[in-house]
Structures are given as C-alpha cells and as structure tokens.
Amino acid sequence: MSAPLVTVTELSLGWGETVLLEDASFEIERGEIFAVLGASGCGKSTLLRALTGLDPPRHGRVEIAGTGAPTLSVGRPSYGVMFQAGALFGSMTVGENVALALETWTDLPAAAIAAIVRARLRLVGLEGCAHLAPSALSGGMRKRAAIARALALEPPLIFLDEPSSGLDPVSAFELDLLIRTLSEGLGLTVVLVTHELPSIFAIVQRCVFLDRASRSILARGDPRVLRDTCPLPAVHHFFNRTSPGSSP
C-alpha cells in the first residue's frame, strides 16, 4: 500500500482557554473521499483550517504527502481549497477567479492559462461561463466554479467546506456526483466538512466524528457502518437524526 496522503499526529486545537480537540491522530489515504463530521461547535471548521495551513495547531502536526506541514505562504500549494459558499472574488469574472492561482504560481503564458481555465470549467460543467460574474451564477454553479478554482494547479488533494450546504436536493445530488466523478476520474483525494447526511452516505468512504464534550475523535470509519452499528449516543443521534433523549 502507498503511504497516506495526509497524516495528522496528536493534534490539539483551540484558542485561549478554549480547547476543541486534544491529541487527535488519523490518516487520509490517497484517492479517497474523507469527511470531518460532528455536531455544531465540535471544531470541524477549526480542524479544516489547521489541515489547510490557515491556522497553526496548539500542539501536534499535520503532514501532506510526507513533505511537512501545509502552508499557504511559502511556495506553490500542493492542494486546493473550496471555501464555504464558494468565496469567489466578486470583482473578477469566473474565468479570472480560476486563473488567479495559475497567474500567481506559474510562469505560463496567457494563452496557456486561458486554455487551462476553459478545461477546468469544462470539467465541472461550466463550459462557456468564464466571462460571467459570480453574481450571475446560481448557488450550485458558484460552488462548481470554486471547485474549478481549487483544481487550477492540478493538485492531488482538495479540501471542500460544506460543498452541498444550502443547495436544493437536485443541485446537491449533482454536486455529489461531480465530486465522486472527479475523485474517481482524476485519482483525487477529497477532504470535506459537511453535515448533509445524503451527501455523507452517497460519497464519503471514511470519516472522523468529532465530539465537543470529550474534545476527541469519538468514532471513525465508514459512515454507513457507524450509522448502523455504533452504540455511542452522540454518533447514533447524528447519523440517524434522532433527539439526544431517544434510545439508539
């Protein structure tokens, strides 16, 4: 077996007197769709920020592809990020948003960058949308454009923050299908934060479930197996959408 693409070792997260996660360790394999799950306030977004190098951990280490901790400040990034709601720059066209990383991190001529932008938009089903402003796109289209931007540099790994949140069921289903197609077709490793159960059960292969009370990874594995067999109340309630007072 090949080495894991992402290795997290004894990670602790929080700020000031607040501790969200203590001594968490897990690995993300190459080519899998992996999710960070848990109830609100458990530290999912904080963990994602640590995984992408936006915030340093209090303790522990994140390594990507065995090359060290992730960083967005030194050198060409080895991963792409789709932020919540897309976070496209409104003053740029869709094409300019996708081109930004290529213009920042490569010396490619303008014609080559334009060709790559067209190819990335075609990959996510937005061919012909390069000239549009982000405000002209639907919510699902903006998220597709953000994924195209995350793929601009052909990274082996992308992080997606709540990719299907706020979408209607059909758009969410189509986005899930796109994510799975990209992972299978490109050998792409996908790490996502989500609370959308249909998406979790449709595309996620493995997950970690964070728990605020214990400040730990309470469960890990295939979310479908955890839904059906995990006896821990917090995990059962999350996957089965039951109230905390009900029995597993």
Model pLDDT, residue 106: 92
The side-by-side arrangement of strands in the sheet containing 59-64 is 18-28, 6-15, 59-64
Model pLDDT, residue 193: 94
Model pLDDT, residue 42: 86
- Coil, helix or strand for 140? helix
For the chain, 248 residues long, the average pLDDT of each consecutive 10-residue run is 87 87 94 94 89 87 77 73 85 95 93 96 94 93 95 94 90 95 95 93 96 93 96 93 60
Model pLDDT, residue 142: 94
Domain ranges of the chain: 1-79+156-248, 90-154
Which of 106, 102, 138, 108 lies closest to 120, judged by CA? 102
Question: How far is the C-alpha of 165 from the C-alpha of 85, rounded, in Å?
Answer: 8
CB neighbours (10 Å) of residue 222?
A: 14
Provide the whole-model pTM: 0.91
Model pLDDT, residue 245: 54
The answer to whether residues 194 and 164 touch, using CB atoms and an 8 Å cutoff, is yes
Question: How far is the C-alpha of 114 from the C-alpha of 110, rounded, in Å?
Answer: 6
What is 187-227 written as a DSSP string? T-EEEEE---HHHHHHH--EEEEEETTTTEEEEEE-HHHHH
What residues pair up with 26 in beta bridges, in sequence order? 8
Question: How far is the C-alpha of 180 from the C-alpha of 34, rounded, in Å?
Answer: 11
Which of 39, 38, 34 lies closest to 51, judged by CA? 34
Question: How far is the C-alpha of 213 from the C-alpha of 203, rounded, in Å?
Answer: 28
CATH of domain 1-79+156-248: 3.40.50.300
